[in-house]
Amino acid sequence: MHLESIIEQLFQHLVSGDRRRTRAFVGTLKGLGIPAERLANDVYWPVHEMLVKLNKHGQLSRLSYNYATRALRQVADQGAADYVRVERTQGRVLLFCGPTEGEELGAQLAVDLLEAAGYEVFFGGAGVANDEVLAELNETRPATLVMWASAATDAPAIRQLIDQVREIGGHPNMRIVCGGGVFNRASGLAEEIGAHGSATTPAELVTAVATAAPATAAPAATKRRTRAVA
């Protein structure tokens, strides 16, 4: 079964609202020996991006979007129980995401893979003010701050947050990684606003968290400019 066909069939089951057929189809994929981690990154993540894009452009009814995001969250949560897990701690991650149900689902896919890879993840979700994020950085002292599956409207606040972290200077070894959401739609945005690394998929995020340069090797400040993001 080709990957494109798998994605299309799962998408159709999801938007129909038929949770039973969705679970049965995922069960068939597992029976074919597809690892749970690959399903999450190569199937659930592309479906998530399709849902977000179609919803954003008004090409999917609200009901179908609601059906799909909630059913996809269910099979993703169930699949995470089958991940192969690294027992030793790789480091602490503090992660925030965009404000919609779909963006939080995309972040959950990333969080589950990071935890399976051995990271201790604090998942703060959306709508957290920068001053509260800064306070939490001081409290949890993460090795990496991740802004994942963010909306276009989040970009100015994320840029400001990164600037504040640098100005305060209390986290010289902390890495900042951005990806998914608006960062996938605007190539180079993560680096432009001062992140140390970026990723386009949850699996890439696991690699980026492991390899992003520390803040002591932070990229030089860039000239501020306004850019339109779809």
Q: Please write the tens of the pLDDT for every residue from 101-153.
A: 888 999 999 999 999 999 999 999 999 999 999 999 999 999 999 999 888 88
- Say if residues 208 and 180 touch (Cβ distance below 8 Å): no
pLDDT at 88 over 90: no
The span from the CA of 108 to the CA of 97, in Å, is 9
Per the listing, tokens 């998929």 go with 201
- Based on the fold, state whether residues 197 and 95 are members of the same structural domain: yes
Q: In what order do the strands lie in the sheet containing 91-97?
A: 119-125, 91-97, 144-148, 175-179, 197-199
Q: Is residue 177 part of a domain?
A: yes
Choose the weakest-confidence range: 26-30, 93-97, 211-215.
Answer: 211-215
Write down the pLDDT at residue 214: 55
- Based on the fold, state whether residues 118 and 199 are members of the same structural domain: yes
- Based on the fold, state whether residues 38 and 68 are members of the same structural domain: yes
What is the domain extent for residue 29?
3-80
Q: How many separate domains does the chain show?
A: 2
- Based on the fold, state whether residues 128 and 212 are members of the same structural domain: yes
- Based on the fold, state whether residues 125 and 40 are members of the same structural domain: no
- Based on the fold, state whether residues 129 and 64 are members of the same structural domain: no
Write down the pLDDT at residue 36: 97
Q: List the alpha helices (DSSP H) in the chain.
A: 3-16, 19-31, 36-38, 45-56, 62-80, 101-116, 130-140, 155-168, 182-185, 189-192, 202-211
* pTM of the complete model: 0.87
- Say if residues 197 and 177 touch (Cβ distance below 8 Å): yes
- Based on the fold, state whether residues 64 and 160 are members of the same structural domain: no
